[in-house]
Amino acid sequence: MSKSKSIDRRVVLKTLGASAAAQVLAGQTSGSVLAAGGHHPRVPLEEGQVWQPKFFTVAENETVTVLSELIIPETDTPGARAANVNQYIDFILANDKKNEGFDPWTWMNKKPIQRDGFRRGLKLLDRLSSERFGRRFVETDAVSQVEFLTELAAPDAASSIPQEAIDFFTEFRGLTIEGYYGSEIGMFEELDFQGNTVMSEFEGCNHAEHLNWDPQVSRNRNEEQ
Partner 1 sequence: MEILRQPEEHDVIVIGSGASGGMAAYNLTSKGVKVLMLDAGDVFDVEKFWTHVLPYQRVERLRRGDREPQFYLDPKEQPYLVPDDKPFLLIRVWGRGGKTNVWGRVSLRMSDLDFGAADRDGFGISWPIRYADLAPYYDRVDQLIGVCGGDDDSEVLPGSRYHMPPAPPRCGEVFMRTAAASLDIPAVAGRKANLTRDHRGFRACHYCGTCGKGCRTASRFSSAEHLIPFALETGNLEIVSNAVVARILTDDSGRASGVQYFDRHTGNERQVNARVVVVGASCMDSTRILLNSKSRTYPTGLGNSSDMLGRNFSEQIMAHVSGFLPELFGQKYTNDDGLGGEHIYIPRFNHRQNDLDYLRGFGIQMWNTGCQQTGMAAADHISGFGASFKMEVKKRYPALVSLHPFGEVLSRPENRVTVDENRPDRYGVPLMKISVSYGDNERKMLNHMYDTCEEILHAAHAEVPSIPRGQHDTPGSAIHEHSTCRMGVDPKMSVLNGFNQMHDVDNVFVVDGSSFTSASEKNPTLTILALAWRATDYLAEELRAGNL
Closer CB to partner 1, 139 or 178, in the complex: 178
Question: Are 7 and 25 a contacting pair, CB within 8 Å?
Answer: no
Q: Which is nearer to partner 1, 83 or 134 (CB)?
A: 83
Instruction: Report how far apart, in Å, the C-alpha atoms of 88 and of each of 12, 73, 112, 179 are.
Output: 32, 16, 16, 6
The nearer residue to partner 1, 19 or 30, going by C-beta atoms, is 19
- C-beta of 182: minimal distance to partner 1 in Å? 3
Contact 55, 94 (CB under 8 A): yes
Which of 43/134 has CB closer to partner 1?
43
Q: How far is the CB of 139 from partner 1 (least distance, A)?
A: 20
Shortest Cβ 91–partner 1 spacing (Å):
6
Amino acid letter at 158?
A: A
Axis-axis angle for helices 9-16, 18-26 (nearest 10): 140
Identify the CA nearest to 82 among candidates 101, 68, 62.
Answer: 68
Minimum distance of partner 1 from residue 108's CB (angstroms): 4
